[in-house]
Structure formats: structure tokens, C-alpha cells
Chains A and B, each alone.
Chain A
Amino acid sequence: MFMFRWLWKNMKGDRAIYCCALCMTLVCQSMYIIAPYITQQIIDTFLVGEQAAENLRTGTNTLITMLLMMIGFTVLRCIIQYTSNMCYEHASQGIIYRVRKILFDNIEKQDALFYDHHRTGDIMTVITGDLEMVRHSIAWIIKTTLECIVLFSATMIYFFTIDWLMALCMLALTPVILLITKGFKNVVGPFYVDLREKLSDMNTHAEENISGNRVVKAFAREDTEIGKFDNCNRSYNEANKKAAFTWLKFFPGLEITAQSLSVVCLFFGGMFVALGRMTFGEYAAFAGLVWTLSNPMRTLGNIVNDYQRFTASANKIIELYYGRPFIVDRADAEEVEGRIKGAVEFRDVSFSYGDTEVLRNISIKAEPGETVAIMGATGSGKTTLIDLIPRIYDVSGGAVLVDGHDVRMMKLEQLRGAIGIATQDVLLYSDTIEGNICFGNIDLPEEEVVKYAKAADADGFIQKTSDGYDTIIGERGVGLSGGQKQRISLARALAVKPSILILDDTTSAVDLETEKHIQDALANLDFPCTKIIVAQRISTTRTADRIIVLKDGTVAECGTHEELIQQNGYYREVYDLQK
């Protein structure tokens, strides 16, 4: 029932339309029973009745009127049915529109922890395939269930008024149907859970294959990939068949029972007629309406089948729908007044990822406007350290402070809005170059876009592309060289005019001349800005106000370039290597 409440909740705005549609369905159902009545009247009056010939001669106009009525009635019914169908579509599209929106907002808010456990293909499956299942359920399952119930009960009432014993005989098969359906329901459920799991696996595999197509080709591993995908494809194929065959296993039982109603009708009805309990006309009434009982019974199996399928999908959607990230604004989070100045302090910070301690007792301070460089061996925790500033992760111990405020007490939007970051794994969007640079600041005027592109030394190669700033770049920036991607990523970070600029190895793939240019530009930004720079090159770090060397998650060395080369530590070693 929870699922239906959930559906109802998300139907807000279309509820009236949906209920209207349901009512129209009822009207249509009854019209289906009335329409043959008019035809019957025509036949009785003009064809087989005692005065048929007489009527035909005198009542030509009546005939035409009745025929027009018949047509008019059909047209009316079609209009109502069309309208009700469109209402169902409207309502079901409305629901998936709203749910899609909420799901999208939700996945946008989810933190890194969530993404470590949810594969892209899984999320895609939920928002594409599962959502489609929900749409189907609203447009079909509920409507059909209602139709069945109405048709079944109306006919039953009618039958009881004719002959209660006969009606009871007809009803006798219902428990059998219910029993079989119940058995079916319990058996088929897990198959649909499995089926959507297999779909999700296939989605994930295909997604990864597409994203990693370069590596696949580089290692000439196409055959392996085809083999792996074939496994997914086959599993999905088999899961589909299994689910369908489970249904088909129960199908004869349900179908034979439902169709046996006509046997029951023939035998008991015939017997009652033979014994004089019922008139022939009454028997004909029963026989004529047997389908209104057997059809709902037959459909019941389909409904249960689809319902189980819907449940498997809806469970996954609801999981995503109500999933909440851990990193959110605290209830007592406060807005800091004015522009963030950019003071960053790590106060005895520790961080563990799962059971592994990544950072331990780190204390660093950067005053507004200062440049702090971070160095260290691969895996020493540099990226993790800077991830703590925009709260991609939260600290396990100690605190990160911006302008003296614990970042966990700040509004996420304000905190992140004050930070410009160029990550190591450059992720650009399949959008124009301009769109990518303006990513964090969509209202940026064009001349400023060019200004920041120039600062990142990207203007030169952008001008050379076919459409300049309007050139569309591929997803993840494919088609650009590593250095070009990094420079666009830098321009994107600058474009938000951040109070804190974080550069995570942003110039590793650019040549030295370019790097020099970028350094000059960074030193002359037209907005006040604290810079935190992860770098491997001495040429980048030497001008920093402070250099921090991380080793195994702790601060091993700290000082200016001159101070550190005096020490015989990591920095000195790197300096000698690069001399």
C-alpha cells in the first residue's frame, strides 16, 4: 500500500484529472453494455419483431433516428474514452516528470560516499527503465484493475437478481482463481527483482565500455569486451525468459478456470432450464454476459504479473527517492555576511576513508590572499586534503575553518560558491567551450569569458578551433589534449571569481612556457583570492608563501621555498631532481 500512497503523493497536481479519468472509464464500461442494447432494439423493432415489416414501412424516420443514435452513441463513447486515455497519459507523465525531477535533484545532492556505492549504470537504470515501469503502472495497472472490479461486481449483482443459485455457481470458481493468482504472485516476484538486476548489470557494463572505449582499443580487447557483454546480454535474456515462463506456467490454470465459466454456465444453466428452474431467456442473459466475468478473471493474472514487475522497479526508485546524503546543511548552519575573505585553516584535522586513516593531525593556515602549495608523494593525501575544504568529505576529527567558521557550520551553497576548484581528473561537459567556462557562473559576460580564458592561456588554442568559443567539445572533454582540458578547467575555476582557488595539479600536462604565463596571470587576478595549489613542479611551488609537504597523511615539512631547500628533506630531494 505504501507504494500507492507514494504514487498518490507524487500525483499532486494531476489528481483531479486522474480521478476524472477513472470516472470516465466507469462511464465507458457501462456504455459498452448499453450500446448492444440499441442494436438489439433496432433488430427487435425492424427485423425480427412481430410488427417488423409494418414498422419498417411506417417508421423509416424512426429507423434513421435509431441508426443515428447508434452512431452518435459510439462517437460519444469514443470521445469519452479518448479523453480518459489522454487524462491517464497526462497524469502518468505528470508523475514521472515530478519523480524524475526529485530523483535528479537528489542525485545532484548525493555525496561522494553514495557514488562510491552506486554505479552510473545502476542510477541510469532506475531513472530510465524503472521510471518507465511506473508510468505503465499508472496508465495501465490501476485503470485495468478498476475496470475489472467494476465489470465483475456489476455483472454479479445483475446475476444475483436473476437467479441466486446460478449466480453462486458462477461465483464458485472465483476462489480457485484467487488461489492460483496468490501462488503466482509469491513465485514471480523474485524473478522480476532478478530481471531488473540483470538489466542494471548490462547497463553498467555497456556504460563502462563506452566510457573506456579508448582503453579497450588501446589494448585490442574488443573480443574480451564482447564476451563480457555477451554474458550480461545472455543473463538478461534468460532472466526475461524465466520471468515469462513463470507466468506461462500459471497461465493454463488461470485461463482454463476463467474460461470454464462458460462450461459452468452451459451445464448448470442448461440443467436449470431443463429442470424448469430458469427460463430460456434468463439462460441467454447469463450466457451473453459470461465474458464480463471471465475477462476480469483472465486479466487478474496479467495485473499481478505487471504489479510484481512494478514493485521490483518502484522499490529501487523509492530507495533513490528517499536517499539522503550525509553532507548537508546543518539545521543551525549560518550564512556568513559579505564576501568570504578566504582565510583557510586546518585545525588538527584527521580523516579516515572506511578503515584507512588518510590524514592525521593536520594543522595548516592560509591567510586571505596567500598562496599555499602542497606537495607530497603519490597517495600521501593531497587531494583528500583539499577535498575537505568544499566538504566533498567531512573531517573525522578536528575542523576545517574558512574565515574562522567551521565549514560544517556554513551553508554549503555559500561555502562552495566561494571556492573555485580545478580538479585533477578534468571533467568537461559536452557543451560549447564557453558553456564549460561559464559552468559555475552562467551569467558571465562574454568579454570576461575571454579574459579568464586568456588568464588560463587557453584563448590561443580556442581561437584556432573551428567555431572558437562556440565549439562543442565532447563529453569529458574528449578531443582536447590533456593540457588543453586543464586550461579550460582552470578558466572555469577562475570564472566564478572565487575567494579560495584550489588547483589540484592543474598544470601537470601543460608545457612550461604556458605554465609561466598562467603563474603570472594567477599573481595578477582582479579579485582577492587565496590560492591552494597541489603541484609536483618546483617551478610552481617556489613562489608560494608557504609550502606544505605531506607524507603518509601528515605534514612532514612546512615553510617557504628558501627554508625548505635548506632542510635535507623531500622538498630538497625533488628540487635536486628537477634542477
Chain B
Amino acid sequence: MARNKFDIDETLETPFDIKHLKRALVYAGKYRKKIFLSLFISILAAVIGLLSPLIVQYAVDNCMKGAETIPMLAVCAGALLLTIIISVFLAQKRAKMMTRVGQDIIYDIRKDLFKHMQELPFEYYDSRPHGKILVRVINYVNSISDLMTNGIINFVLEMMNLLFIIVFMFFVCWQLALVVLCGLPIYGAVIMFIKNRQRKAWQLTSNKSSNLSAYLHESIIGVQISQVFTREKVNAEINDKLAKSYRKTWMKAVGYSNLVWPSTDIVSTLTRAAIYLVGLLFMPGLSLGTILAMGDYSARFWQPMMNLSNLMNTFINAVAYLERIFEMLDEPVTVKDKVGAAEMPEIKGDVHFRDVTFSYEDGTSVLEHLSFDVKAGQSIALVGPTGAGKTTIVNLISRFYNLDSGSVTIDDTNIADVTLHSLRSQMGIMLQDSFIFSGTIMENLKYGRLDASDKEVYEACRIVGIHDYIMSLKDDYDTVVSERGAGLSQGQKQLIALARTILSNPKILVLDEATSSIDAKTERNLQNGLNHLLKGRTSFIIAHRLSTIRNCDMIMYVSNKGVTESGTHDELIAKRGDYYKLYTAQAV
């Protein structure tokens, strides 16, 4: 898989795709009642707004002729005030509704995005900086809120406005109306010139901001490494480079965007001048009132055009982000439930690999034609050189990846045929990276089984031998650990992760280097507790310390894309093969 890093731009999709807009509208569709209602309110407000010039007109004509007209003037002023109050409250109502709609759409999109994220396979997370994923869920979704809140309604309103004016203009004087419309091709040409450049520029800007965030994110996570390697200056330079290129692309993009309204303004003035010119010089019969009115209408025609152009700016800007959001939503879920997948029945623990071939990337297979059988309740140790595929084998049992060919079955059920949730929730997997969430220790321990009782938690911690340590902390089990378990030693984190796995009461237990950071003595104590626990459960253990694995029912030596030796400790020692070599190398 092609990996992305912080300074690599993600690919751009060049032609503009109307489907993004359609898709955004699907989200809006859920709220169409409210949107139509808001639209109706807006139109109502516009109609009421038309009343005020009439009132003023009437007052000016009739109520300013001496003291006796003043009461009438007061009535007019009152009426004017009334129209203002009504239209303001209508505007408030509309704004409230649209805020709700806009925010709810954002909420929906973000919810879908996050939900989809949970289904995405490891590859997705492994192939790009996490900061790039983060900005999409948070910042990008926020960027489109403006479009969603007011964009749709304003678009419809302005279009109606425009139509209204055009009809009116033709009604008054169709020849001059045509003159006004002559501005449109010029305007269209300008917009066409700007549009594609603008779109590309904003896409690039969203890319650069993504790069910047990705680097920032990695820098925060790796800050201690940077410090001990005195990398601060180099990092600052990289950040500077990224920030500069973001600034440059931003200026370019905004430069195009800012071109839009002056063009409208200039074209508007041109048509107005054209009206006076044509009206006065070439159409002598025209009444002065008509020319005046048409001059006015042309200004009114271009005002909504200007608003629409601004809307287009918002839109083009938002689409650059929308594309990235939808791209993520379209990211294929490669490891997913089959249609009509059944629930995994309660696992007894027979595991069979049948002719399994697997590769992370096309062409370079990690495992080839691997077959083995494990009976329920057996404990299996996987040994062999680093990178030989031990972790891969256990990952396949949990179906973290799809096989290239062959099958993995548990209790004669092909794991590809059952739901992921029913499969994984019966497995206890302790990963190499003992990730601890921020929160209390108790919350972390219960992560695998939310309804575990406190007593069960204590029991699990006693088995792994971390109970006494936790009790010595200020708030014992309620002690809050910060991100990634900062404040705990690596060994303690492993022990907590191990307790967490044990607590989930798995039918199949996978321990991948579960005790690598734990000292030999603690491990020995742990072993006794574990042995008791492993009884009756199928377990897969990856470890380099042979003392950990000597007692396993079967040891598999993994190398050369498969299992080259397997058997009990004694059998393998007698065989004098790779395992023997490994064992004797470790013996002090």
C-alpha cells in the first residue's frame, strides 16, 4: 500500500463532480420540512419588506404638508415600525431554524464519518499520518457549516430574486432588459476563467493545511524523542516550510476568490452605463421614467448576482473540504461482515488454518499455504525471528485482515462468515502496543467488559500482580492516567493491558509480546496465575523469552512464510532444528 507522510499531498480529483453537492443535499434532505418552512418565512419577510417603501412613499406624498398632517404621519411611522418588528421576528425565527438545521447536518455528517472510521481496517490507519484523519473529522466538517447553515436558503432566495427582477425588467422595457442581460456572457466568461483555478487552489490549500496538521500532530506525540535527539531546530524548519507553503497556497486561492465580486461590480456598472447610453442615444422615444427605472433595475439585477457569486465562493471553498470528507466516507471497508453474516456461536476453541496465503501488499506474501490445527484448550507458542509473521498469524485469527486465499475456521465455522463483533468480542487480544486511554485505571480495565464488577477487576489485577501497585496510588483504581498512560511505566502499562484482556473473559486468548517489558521475576509470578487462567482456553502466545513458552502444549516455529517446525518443547529439542538452536542460544 502506498503510504502517505506529512509532506506528501494527497491526490487531487481534477474534474468538478456535481455528485458532491448532491450528496451534501441528501444530508439536507432529512430536514427539508424545516428548510422549506424557513424559505417560506424568508419569502414572507421579503414581501413585508416591500411594504415599507410604499408606506414611506405614502407618508412623503401626503403627510408632510403642515401641522395637521402630523397625526397621519405618526400612523405611518407606526405602520413602518410594525413592518420592521414583524420582519425582524421572522428573520429571527428563520435564523433559529436554520442554525438548528445547519448544526444538525454537521452533527450527522460527523457522526457518519466517525462511524465509518470505526469500520475502516488497520491499513487505513497505518497508511497515513493520524493528524490527517483527525482534521477531516473535526476541522473539515466545521468548515462546511457555513454552507449548510445559510448557503442553501440564500441560494434559493437569490435565484428567486433574480427571476423576479428579470421578469420585471422585460415587463418594463424588453430592449433595455436585453442590454442588461448582455452583461451575463462577459460575466460568465470571467467566472469560467476564475472557477477552475480557484477550485484547484482551494484543493491545494486544504491539502497543505492537512499536511501542516499531520506534522503538528506527530510533533506533539514525538516531542520527547525530538528533545532527546535535539531535533527542535530541524523540526521547526520543517514546520516552517509547511506553514510557508500553506500560506502561499492560501494567498493564491483567496486571490482568485476575491476576484469574483469586483468582476461582478464592474460588469454591473458596465451594463448600467450601457443602459444610459442605449436608452438616451439610440432609443429617443423612451420615457425618462423608463430609463431611470431600468438603471435602477439593472443594479437590482446585479445585486443578487453578486450575492450568488459570494455564495459560489463559499461553495467552492467548502467543496474542497467536502471532497475530502466524502472521500473518507467512500474509503472501502475491506474487512467487513458478509451480507447476512451469522453470529459466531459460543467459541469452544478449535482453530484451523487451511492453506492460508496472505500478503499486506500485492506481490510480497508474508504467509504461504499455511495449514495447522489447534484443538480447543491448547496453548500454542509462536516463536521465530522478528518479522517472520507471528503477529500476522494471530491477527488473522481475529480477522483483522482478509486472507488472499485459504480459510481460517474456529469450531468449523469459517470466521469470514460470521460478524466481526461476535467474533472479536469472544477473543482476548493483547497487542504489542499496550495502548492505555486517558481516563481512570478502572475505566481502562473495564474496557474489554463494561459490565465487569469491581471485584472481578481486582481479581484480574491480582492475577497479573498489579493490584498492590494500583492500591498504592493516591486514588487507587480511580487514579486518572493521562494520554497513552503517561505516568505509568511500560511494564505497568503492559500489566494493566493484560488485566484488561483477562477481564474480557475471552474464549481464545492471544498474547503478543504481552510480557516483553515485564521483569523476569514479576513474570514468573504472573505465569502461575496465567497458567490457571489458560486452562480450558485456547491461547496463542508470542514471546521471545523461552521460559514463558516452554510449558505450552505446542510450539510453532514460524519462518519462511510458514510454520517450519511444530511440536512440544521436548520434541523440538530432540529434533535439533531451529528451535533447538534458538533455545540453546538463550540458555545462559
Contacts and interface: CB of A to CB of B under 8 A. Distances in A.
Interface stretch (B20-28, B35-43, B217-225): B217-225
Interface in B199-245: 213-214, 216-232, 234-236, 239-240, 243-244
Contacts of B92: 248, 251-252
A390 interface: yes
Given A256-B88, A474-B127, A210 B133 contact: yes
A83 B111 CA distance: 41
A101 interface: yes
B431 A214 contact: yes
Given A203-B138, A215-B447, A218-B424, A440 B231 contact: yes
Contact of A430 (B5, B66, B254, B277): B5
Contact of A511 (B230, B266, B295, B582): B582
A476 B438 contact: no
B189 interface: no
Interface stretch (B11-19, B117-125, B167-175, B406-414): B117-125
A241 B232 CA distance: 41
B424 A220 contact: yes
B91 to A, nearest CB: 7
Q: Is the interface of B mostly helix, strand, loop or mixed?
A: helix
Given A107-B223, A214-B122, A256-B84, A570 B521 contact: yes
A108 B84 contact: no
A51 interface: no
A93 interface: yes
A508 to B, nearest CB: 4
Given A219-B447, A263-B77, A416-B229, A97 B247 contact: yes
A210 B130 contact: yes
Given A97-B243, A378-B491, A383-B490, A574 B421 contact: no
Interface in A113-129: 115-117, 119-120, 123-124, 127-129
Contacts of B139: 128-129
Given A211-B435, A226-B114, A479-B360, A430 B56 contact: no
A473 B229 CA distance: 19
B60 A270 contact: yes
B111 A230 contact: yes
B566 interface: no
B135 interface: yes
A355 interface: yes
Interface stretch (B268-276, B310-318, B319-327, B345-353): B268-276
B587 interface: yes
Interface string A229-254: 11001101100110011001001100
Interface string B50-82: 001000100110011111011001101100110
A71 B223 contact: no
Contact of B69 (A60, A240, A259, A274): A274
A417 to B, nearest CB: 5
B387 A270 contact: no
Given A214-B122, A577-B521, A416 B230 contact: yes
Contact of B435 (A215, A245, A353): A215
A376 B229 contact: no
Contacts of A266: 56, 59, 73, 76-77, 80
Contacts of B138: 128-129, 199, 202-203, 206
Contacts of B518: 378, 536
B106 A237 contact: yes
Given A392-B224, A425-B490, A109 B232 contact: yes
Interface stretch (B94-102, B155-163, B372-380, B455-463): B94-102
A267 B77 contact: yes
A440 B229 contact: yes
Interface stretch (B179-187, B481-489, B569-577): B481-489
Given A71-B266, A219-B447, A413-B230, 16 more contacts: A39-B272, A74-B269, A85-B258, A93-B251, A108-B223, A108-B226, A127-B216, A221-B448, A240-B103, A274-B63, A275-B67, A378-B491, A378-B517, A430-B129, A483-B544, A578-B520
5 contacts: A86-B251, A108-B226, A219-B447, A241-B103, A287-B56
